[in-house]
Amino acid sequence: MSDELIPLSHCVTANRQDNLPVAFHSGHYYYADKFYAAVRHWVNRLQSEPFPRYALYTEAAYPFAVMLFALFHAGKEVWIPGNNRPGTAQQLQQQKCRLIGDWDKTQAVDYCLESSDCFDLPLLPLNSADIQLVIFTSGSTGQPKPIEKRLVQFQLEIATLEKLWGKHLASATALSTVSHQHIYGLLFRVLWPLSAERCFHSRIYINPEMLVNAIQDTAAYWIASPAHLKRLDQSSLWDALTGLNAIFSSGGPLQPATAQQILANSGQSVIEIFGSSESGGIAWRQQHNEPDTAWTLFEGMTFIRKDDLWQLHSPYLAGKAGLPLDDQLDLQNDGRFILQGRLDRIVKLEEKRLSLTELEQRLTDTPWIAEAFTLVIAKNREGIGAVCVLNQNGLKQLKVKGRNQLIKEIRSALLNWFEAVVLPRKWLFVDRIPMNAQGKVEQPILMQLLDLNKRKFPQVLGFEMTCDSAHVTIKVTDKLIYFPDHFSSYPILPGVVQIAWAEYFGKLFFAIDEPFLNMEVIKFVKVIQPEDELKLTLDWKSEPGKLYFNFRSEAGVHSSGRLVTKQS
């Protein structure tokens, strides 16, 4: 790396150091000559296309960087979605976006990364004040919301980050477990390394073990989220993490216990970044030996209280008007602040105001719950759903007293603080709160699980999930519509319903966009009757396109098989 940043406007025209790779992609290092050539190749192609607006999605970060700067230099407007699901693609096309990148999973894209042509194509530095891109934030409802950004805003933020941590990072390589399709990953794993001449790894490392294996003997730093960091445990590869130049985290506050565990086992004090898609970075903190929950504002940031709301004034924001924040802040005498929840998590039920943040806090204050997330379920009558991770005491109570009694005791404890009308009506007990790659709670999954049609689906008692497997504990209630007709004297759950449930939950938990075309090795071993409790295990193998399912109870396997999306 050099002592001075390369402006983002000059990323494809600057003279980079020849011995410093731009990125590590598919087992190879790519240097400036290959990066510039690939960008020029695509500029030449894109300039001949009539489309003014493109939606860019790639699985890997290096092709993303090539395409992003090619689109900029070709004079295109760039939209960066958070995923490449069919519904997202349809919405973007309705916005007149031309899709480019990894949208069709059945076809590999040639990004021409080894291109050597178009060296004679002259490229001039970009005007960073004019170059615009659109990113998305999930907002409080989970509905994607487009946010316009200018390249100059990212450049200002990079300058702040480099001033704070550039010398500490030195020439370390950026490795990440978060996606570049969101602002945090875009800035930290692509734009900042490009500007600072640090190499970045193109692939995303979905777990710490994969990341550690990729470090080898090179200096590196980790771009993570609370969702990844809290999964570290005593069996994690702490020695390798000790050698990192830094660990960054964003997407939500890191729990003090997690911060202290990482510090105790690796000596790393995680650098947390607080901000949003709208605001960019606002503040940072490190929770050292004594847990310190206060945040330090980045240089140039100020808060102003207006009409009971905090407004942010930031050099990263276009215009002079302050940005209203949805966060409750406690401003300290030293200029730092403490987060006290979000204003947009205040809901009204039966004319009663309820803070979901406070409800979650009271849940974790009980003797049985380690983590909690609550949300509003809107149907005929609005109610609250609670998703809880039980601690050891809670797991013991669940086993000894049963689910209904445990819920009764939790509700009784909550009555010390809340009226009965606002208490959760639906409950899920999980091994951990499901998070996406950005450390945000997977609200759509939780909403669907808490709000299943009681007449057509089983009651979900809890679930565990990873990226390619899920274990769902269910109760087959006697209220289901299938029992009266199958059969009145000896009701059993039809096999076709079991297959339909496997398909429904499979598509809920995994990114399965294709329809199932056929079935393999379907076996019905034991009947399933009303009030049976079972565990549905699902394993998704994306390459062959097969969903393996298995219904099991204490009596053994009831049914199993495979649902197939591809013709053999």
Q: What is the DSSP string of 252-298?
A: SPPPHHHHHHHHHHH----EEEEEETTTEEEEEE---SS----BEEP
Last residue of a domain, one of 284, 313, 342: 342
Strand positions, DSSP E, 337-476: 337-342, 346-349, 352-355, 369-377, 383-390, 426-430, 459-465, 469-475
The model's pTM is: 0.74
Q: Are residues 250 and 128 in the same domain?
A: no
Last residue of a domain, one of 398, 433, 451: 451
Q: Are residues 409 and 466 in the same domain?
A: no
pLDDT in tens, the chain (568 residues): 556 899 999 999 998 887 889 999 999 999 999 999 999 999 999 999 999 999 999 999 999 999 999 999 999 999 999 888 787 888 899 999 999 999 987 788 999 999 876 656 788 999 988 998 999 875 444 456 789 999 999 999 999 999 999 999 999 999 999 999 999 999 999 999 999 999 999 999 987 888 888 887 789 999 998 878 888 887 778 888 999 999 999 988 888 888 999 999 999 999 999 998 889 999 999 998 666 789 999 999 999 988 778 999 999 887 667 888 888 888 998 889 998 877 767 777 765 778 898 899 899 999 999 999 999 887 656 789 999 999 999 999 998 999 999 999 999 999 888 888 889 999 999 888 887 766 678 888 898 898 888 899 998 888 888 778 899 999 999 889 998 877 777 899 999 999 999 999 999 988 888 888 999 999 999 999 999 999 999 999 988 889 999 999 999 999 999 999 976 5
Helices and strands: H and E segment counts in the chain: 15, 30
Which residue do the tokens 């013709």 mark? 567
Q: Are residues 2 and 39 in the same domain?
A: yes
Phi, psi of 372 (to 5 degrees): -150, 145
Which residue do the tokens 């969903």 mark? 547
- Total domain count for the chain? 4
Pairing between β-strand 296-297 and β-strand 280-285 as defined by DSSP bridges? antiparallel
Q: Are residues 199 and 252 in the same domain?
A: no
Q: Are residues 242 and 134 in the same domain?
A: no
| 284 and 297 Cβ atoms separated by less than 8 Å | no
Q: Are residues 196 and 264 in the same domain?
A: no
Q: Are residues 9 and 29 in the same domain?
A: yes
Phi, psi of 300 (to 5 degrees): 90, -5
CATH of the domain at 185: 3.40.50.12780
Q: In what order do the strands lie in the sheet with 23-25?
A: 28-30, 23-25, 200-201, 173-176, 220-224, 247-250, 271-276, 280-285, 296-297
Q: Are residues 150 and 237 in the same domain?
A: no
Which residue do the tokens 């609370």 mark? 226
Strand positions, DSSP E, 45-141: 53-57, 77-79, 98-101, 132-137
Q: Are residues 152 and 12 in the same domain?
A: yes
Which residue do the tokens 């669907």 mark? 448
In a domain, 217, yes or no: no
Last residue of a domain, one of 324, 342, 360: 342
In a domain, 211, yes or no: no
Q: Are residues 19 and 150 in the same domain?
A: yes
In a domain, 102, yes or no: yes
Helix (H) or strand (E) run with residue 544 in it:
none
Tell me the C-alpha distance between 462 and 457, whole Å.
14
Phi, psi of 549 (to 5 degrees): -130, 155
Torsion of CA 169, 175, 181, 186, to 10 degrees: 10
Tell me the C-alpha distance between 493 and 99, whole Å.
44
Q: Are residues 431 and 553 in the same domain?
A: no
Tell me the C-alpha distance between 544 and 523, whole Å.
20
Q: Are residues 198 and 246 in the same domain?
A: no
Which residue do the tokens 């295109």 mark? 76
In a domain, 141, yes or no: yes
In a domain, 221, yes or no: no
Q: How many Cβ atoms sit within 10 Å of the Cβ of residue 185?
A: 24
In a domain, 219, yes or no: no
In a domain, 274, yes or no: yes
- The domain in which residue 35 lies consists of 1-204
In a domain, 247, yes or no: yes
